[in-house]
Structure 1
Amino acid sequence: MTDDIVTARPSNAAEVADLVRRAQHDSLPITIVAGGHGPWSHAPAPGMRIELADLSDVEIEGLALDGEDAVVHIGGGAVWGDVAAKLGADGLAISSGDTASVGVGGLTLGGGIGLMVRAWGLAADQLVGAQVVTASGGIVETSADENPDLFWALRGGGGNFGIVTRFDFLAHPVTGIAYGEYVITGDAGRVIRAARDVMRDAPRELTMTYMDVPPMDPSAPAGARISAVWAGDDVERFRQVMAPVADLDGVDAEYTTPAYRDILLEMPEPVEGAELPPCFIGGNGLFTRLDDELIDRLVAFRAAYPASVVFLRSLGGAFGEVPQASTAFPARTATWFVMAGAFDIPGVVDDDARAAIRADWERIEAGRLAEYGNFADTERPDAVPGMFTPEAHERLRAVKAQWDPQNVFRRNHNIPV
């Protein structure tokens, strides 16, 4: 064993397989970087670091016919901003994450709650096949018909089962999208309730996101706002559906019809040698409903801690139509994703404040169905079962035993045999 870091940038699946065999021979732990958006990607770890950035091709299979989905092959190192730009030029889109620098690999393997999640489901729901380098250094194809158990595990089970060097998705025709920004200067609780009520009977074309962030967050403007994405070009219908939110006092609404790529957030590139951001005290959950008590707790949490974040995204629609057992992803009955937490700023947050933040978050999370692994940024082995249904967790362990019995791929939300 060595404390050195060996970095490699393969350009094809065969080279990835060679690197896995080499790491096995030399007893080197493996870290996979597919996009480099999350904190684990930038943390130094001894062993072999396999960066997939050169596997980033986006290829549309054949000619996409009007009104029909098209099969798209995407390299395991691609990022969603580049994918959205490429597909948008051909009038296509895939429901991805909301940030351009997010890797296709990490987001998809963890599920992928994107900006079109109600219209098209998770990123993983749009996956129809994949090429995978296994723990033994082999290369296999997987789909619903070929190695189906492995394919099932890839759709929400994380990076536990192999290195995906190519993803095969169904991309959807987009005649246009409508986008609404609703800046909130009034009663946030009242606005969230109105948004919740809209979403109860909203068409599946509509996905809504609420975010309230402090000035220190570089990924979005400070303050409270709702962003709403309508999967279609019927702007007038979109306005009508969103009117109960837009017409409230203390809400300033703006409507645009941008390209899908243009609504993805842009995160600054990490600066080499820069200090790591402060720790985050809080968490996330998939909730059956957004009731008044939960809303009140979220609003109170944000008010109590100035350096805190509250983030909500509507679910349902296509997301909820996928049978629970069809993928490894939990909580298909959830109608909202919720995240809340405060930054542990040295010199600002003391032990009493930390305890108060944790206690408030525990009261919020008490009603959740499951935790969403893609938004959990620390390795907590005891928490992993809570990211799946009990049945899915047991099945994932069986798939792990078949494809990675030595736990070669373990730097993730790990599912040991």
Structure 2
Amino acid sequence: MTDLSLTDLAAGTVVKPGDPEWDAARSFHSGIGEPTVVVRASSVDDVRAAVRYASSERLDVMVRGGGHSAWGAVPGGVTLDLDALDSVSVDGTLVHVGGGATWGAVAAILAEHGLGVSSGDTASVGVGGLTLGGGIGWMVRAWGLAADQLVGAQLVTARGEVIEVNDESHADLLWALRGGGGNFGVVTRFDFRAHALSSVVFATLGVAGDARPVLRALRDTMKDAPRELTVTYMDVPEMDPSAPGGAAITACWIGDDEDAARAALAPLLALDGVTETDLGVRSYPDILMDMPAADPDQPMPGFVGGNTLLADLTDEAVDRLASFREANQASVLFLRSLGGAYGDVPQDDTAFPARSATWFAMAGAFDIPGLVHDDNRPLIQAEWDAIEALGEALYGNFTVSTDPAMVSRMYAPETIARLAAVKRQWDPQNLFCRNHNVVPA
């Protein structure tokens, strides 16, 4: 197959260096890429043609949905832009979502039907990347991961064939798609089982003073909290006047019962230094954040730290996390409660790791000249490494690293072996390697 196969596609579908639309085509939410060619797919047939072309030319494929992935910055290869494949259709509680859709648009359409799918925190994030990587969202304790709500998919294989994936057809592949990333093909349609959702109660609690007693109380409160409640703790530095710093607890309660939500949060509100700043009924789409696209003139600084899935938020973990934030002026600390439906799923039922985890934790220092120096950068990383050692696995969706070694920190050896066997069956040449890559067995 030659390049003529791509030029047969509709005008504007294939964009190359030098074309008028090149700069726009190679830009993605998190930066600007340097691919060999960009294919803006408007149909499944476009996807098939792009995959077959890439295979014939021995070019890697980078699938782009929402464009938040760091893999878009890796040079070369075929960038396959699925932005136009963004349809959403609802059949009862079964929801069919195009591979290029973003969660904000999906949530808005589902809200019209009184439905919801747990989908992360950010409106512009792509359905594909979040789901294939697992998807820890606001309803994770009630409904599990986004991947746990995935019941089927339409996928274009490395051979350019279109297959339907579900529990009855290619069950091994569906297992891999539930947390194994984009290693196995291009998902052009996701099928989710949605849940009844009229509204949510969303609360913000301001936090002042020592984080340690607050985090211990948060841990103890969530041990017996109703599954309707999921919480986060975030402490961020003041970066500019539009982004005030400080610590806060945010909470999402499924439904419109403000009294029940406030009762569940009562142990936290009784703490010194914790105040209720906002609590009220919202539509689910309204609580998803808007994240501005990257500004090429003001690139984001590096990040020294990481994330981990913790079986328990022990006193040692609390102290280390709080100390990390205190020791590094320009650093961020983020925690999200797990458990509930997340932990109901047997470990072997999906590729996603650490089903015994009850907390997700992330911390890191922004690598800003004058605040982080060459001599203390390794010390900061060592501080984080000691925290990560307390956890069970790294969550791939929350790292911007493209280091191949990340995979061994994401999955247990037996899971990697099983993923590698599925990879060998569906992508033996490793065409789909622009991800947290599992090498074919």
Q: Flag whether TM exceeds 0.5 (same fold).
A: yes
**TM-score when normalising by structure 2:** 0.89
Q: C-alpha separation between the residues in 2 aligned to 1:217 and 1:394? A: 46
CA distance in 2, matches of 1:401, 1:91: 41
Across the aligned residues of Structure 1 and Structure 2, the Cα RMSD in angstroms comes to 1.7
Conserved 8 A contact 1:213-1:220: no
Partner in structure 2 of residue 5 of structure 1: 36
Structure 1 residues 106-164: Cα deviation after superposition (integer angstroms, max 9, x where no partner):
00000000011001000000000000011111111101111111111000000100010
Instruction: Write the mapping of 1:5-404 to structure 2, written as runs, cut at 5 A.
Output: 5-41=36-72, 43=73, 45-61=75-91, 64=92, 70-216=93-239, 221-253=244-276, 254-271=278-295, 273-404=296-427
Q: C-alpha deviations, 1:25-79, integer Å up to 9, x for none?
A: 22222211111122323x2521211111000111102xx3xxxxx0000010111
SS of equivalent residue, structure 1 residue 86: helix
The alpha-carbon deviation at position 5 of structure 1 amounts to: 2.4
Q: 1:368 to 1:216 in 2, by over 3 A?
A: same
Residue 219 of structure 1: how far off its partner (Å): 10
In structure 2, do the counterparts of structure 1 residues 196 and 220 end up closer, same or farther at CA, with 3 Å as the change threshold?
Answer: farther
TM-score, with structure 1 as normaliser? 0.94
Q: 1:102 and 1:7 mapped to 2: Cα distance?
A: 20
d(CA) in 2 for partners of 1:35, 1:56: 11
Q: Is the 8 A contact 1:219 1:267 kept in 2?
A: no
Offset of residue 221 of structure 1: 4.5
Structure 1: how far apart are the matches of 2:152 and 2:428?
A: 23
Letter in 1 for 2:66: G
Q: Using the alignment, how far apart are the partners of 2:275 and 2:238 within structure 1?
A: 19
- 1:281 to 1:80, Cα distance in 2 relative to 1, 3 A: same
1:67 maps to none
d(CA) in 2 for partners of 1:116 and 1:375?
18
1:392 partner SS: helix
Work out the percentage of aligned pairs sharing the same amino acid: 56
Cα drift, residue 12 of structure 1: 1.4
**Runs of 4+ in structure 1 over 3 Å off:** 217-221
C-alpha distance in structure 1 between counterparts of 2:293 and 2:251, whole Å:
26
Contact 2:354 2:392 in 1 (8 A): yes
Letter in 1 for 2:172: D
Give 5+ residue unaligned stretches, structure 2.
1-16, 18-33
Q: Secondary structure at the match of 2:239?
A: coil
Counterpart CA distance in 1 for 2:272 and 2:171 is 52
Residue 428 of structure 2: aligned partner: 405
SS in 2 for 1:257: strand
Which amino acid is 2:153 matched to?
Answer: A
The corresponding residue for 2:6 is none
Rounded to whole Å, the distance in 1 between the matches of 2:137 and 2:240 is 20
CA shift, 1:215, in A, is: 2.0
| Deviation of the 1:188 alpha carbon | 1.6
CA distance in structure 2 between the aligned counterparts of 1:384 and 1:104, rounded to whole angstroms: 21
Cα 1:120/1:308, change in 2 over 3 Å: same
**Contact 2:35 2:79 (8 Å CA) reproduced:** no
Give the distance between the partners of 2:421 and 2:95, measured in 1 at CA.
30
Greater shift, 294-303 or 396-405, is seen at: 294-303
Structure 1: where are the runs of 5+ without partners? 65-69
**CA contact under 8 A between 2:202 and 2:282: conserved in structure 1?**
yes
Amino acid at match of 1:16: V
| Residues 72-98 of structure 1, C-alpha deviations (whole Å, 9 max, x = no match) | 000101111111111111111100010
**Separation (CA, whole Å) in 2 of partners of 1:287 and 1:113:** 14
